[in-house]
Amino acid sequence: MNDLPMLNYDVVVIGGGPAGMAAAVRAKKLGLKVLLLDDNDYLGGILPQCIHPGFGLHYFKEELTGPEFAARFAKRLVELGVDYRTAARVLEIKNYSDLEKVVVFSSPSGAYQVWTRTIIYAAGARERHAFEIGIVGDRGAGIYTAGEAQTLMDIYGVMPGKEIVIVGSGDVGLIMARRFALEGAKVKAVIELMPYPGGLARNIMILRDFDIPLYLSHKVVEVRGKERVERVKIVKVDENLREIPGTEFWIEADTLIISAGLVPNVKLLTAIGVEIDPATGGPVVNDLFETSVPGIFAAGNSVIINDLVDYVAEQGELAAEGARLFIDKEGIPTRRWIKLEKGENVRLLVPHYLSGERDVWIYARVSKPMENVEVRFPEIGKKLRLPVVKPAEMLRVKLRREEIAKARDGITMEVVPL
């Protein structure tokens, strides 16, 4: 290692998407020496390929497209003079001590080692692919994840096909359904495993706008077509998601788009022993988004899959504040950590630990949709009523410092019908 060029920073931000850019901007404003690394050729993460509107309503109070949102952040980054490198891939993180960490990265100008006091990990997520969801049959051209199809269309200008079947009615799948329809392709079906759609209400409208059939409680089990996709086999499932024999049918299509959910990218974190929450797939974090390894913070979709870019940016900023505090105090000075537990109808949540020393936004998802519910934190006597909750829509609830302080041991979050 000694022969590698050495750089020195207070904080290295890994990932140049919205979480990473927001973290870098905030850290710089807080007076830290920041280096941001991204392996793409451009900043913005996946935003530059998300050419549809709907970004930044909370953050910028106006509706932007993905490239516009990314450009605004990139501009701030450049204006503030944040050091950043694109086409730079982190190969390894070494954790020598709480205040001594090394990030090794490779780039077209070679490999470097960066000595840093803190790291903000914002490497985003990957998409689940056809093999992971058990689709069998042929493996010709025309099978893409939604994000890959989006990259092909909106970064490289390639039309993947003309008759499309989409697996998954989450936001990404629905937005791609519209994207294909707008370019003149025929979207023949959106296939959803669950008995309810997976996307935000505003995106479910797309199906009606473009007259796209939605099959709830169905799954794609097989794809045929040797050189390229020719048809896909679909089957109905019961309430336990078991296939119902005799309900199989085929749809002719030349393209199958898999939009079956995202999985946080955590390989660099697991390599250094960061604790992972099996429910979120991301690291276990405290209320400053610090992981189980002191001084390593995480933010955005590498922690929890978010619906809105605004939340992602918010988490990046919080992590930056954590890094500042960590450097000032040589660690996060907290007397006790209160564990936040999942109760009834809560599938996942972050942060996992609360200090009670600051107000906290809780990000959570329910297991099943419900109407007229109460979100309760029984140990501290907090309740709030909501007309409807859906797994597709992240719950974001604020707990105030004084409220958290009432807890003796843990706090449970539950979502119960009224």
Residues of this chain that interact with another protein (CB under 8 A) are 1, 3-4, 39, 87, 89, 91, 104, 106-111, 113, 126-132, 134, 136-141, 144-145, 147-148, 151-162, 183-185, 221-222, 224, 226-228, 254, 265, 267, 270
Residue 247 CB, shortest distance to another protein, in Å, is 15
* Cβ neighbours of residue 78 closer than 8 Å, sequence gap 6 or more: none
Closest CB to another protein among 128 and 188?
128
| Nearest approach, Cβ of residue 154 and another protein (Å) | 8
Smallest distance, another protein to C-beta of residue 303, A = 18
Contact 287, 79 (CB under 8 A): no
Q: Tokens 């909750």 identify what position?
A: 389
- From residue 351, how far is each of 225, 380, 382 by CA, in Å? 45, 17, 17
Smallest gap, in angstroms, from Cβ of residue 8 to another protein?
17
Q: Which is nearer to another protein, 35 or 323 (CB)?
A: 35
State which residue, 95 or 106, has the beta carbon closest to another protein. 106
Helix (H) or strand (E) holding 191: strand 186-191
Q: How far apart are CA 97 and CA 76, in angstroms?
A: 32
Using the minimum distance from each CB to another protein, give the nearer residue, 143 or 338: 143
Q: In whole angstroms, how close is the CB of 339 to another protein at the nearest point? A: 26
The smaller minimum CB distance to another protein, of residues 89 and 342, is found at: 89
Comparing CB distances to another protein, the nearer of 161 and 322 is 161
Task: State in angstroms the smallest separation of the CB of 158 from another protein.
Answer: 4
Residue 127 or 287: the one with the smaller Cβ distance to another protein is 127
Pick 157 or 387: Cβ nearer another protein: 157
Query: Nearest approach, Cβ of 1 to another protein (angstroms)?
Result: 7
| Least gap, CB of 298 to another protein (angstroms) | 17
Residue 259: name the closest of 390, 144, 367 by CA.
144
Residue 29 to residues 26, 76, 257, 318, 324: CA-CA distances in angstroms?
A: 5, 11, 41, 13, 10
Q: Between 130 and 285, whose beta carbon lies closer to another protein?
A: 130
Are the C-beta atoms of residues 190 and 198 closer than 8 Å to each other?
no
Q: What are the residues facing 64 on neighbouring strands?
A: 55
Task: Locate 40 and state its tokens.
Answer: 């793409």
Exposure pattern of 318-347 as b/e (b: 16+ CB <10 Å)?
bbbbbbbbbbeeeebebeebbebbbbebbe
Residue closest to 21 by CA, chosen among 321, 317, 379: 317
How far apart (Å, rounded) are the C-alpha atoms in residues 77 and 15?
A: 13
Least distance (Å) between residue 97 CB and another protein: 21
DSSP 193-244: SSSS--S-HHHHHHHHHTT--EETTEEEEEEE-SSB--EEEEEEB-TTS-B-
Phi first, then psi, for residue 385 (nearest 5°) are: -100, 140
Two tokens, residue 98 = 């709480």
Q: How far is the CB of 138 from another protein (least distance, A)?
A: 5
- By three-state DSSP, how is residue 302 classified? helix
Report the residue number, 128 or 358, with the smaller CB distance to another protein. 128
Q: Which of 90, 76, 81 is nearest to 120 (CA)?
A: 90
The residue (of 25 and 35) whose beta carbon lies closer to another protein is 35
Cα–Cα distance measured from residue 120 to residue 206, given in angstroms and rounded to the nearest whole number: 36
Task: State how far the Cα of 256 lies from the Cα of 204, in Å rounded to an integer.
Answer: 19
- Smallest gap from Cβ 99 to another protein, in A, equals 23
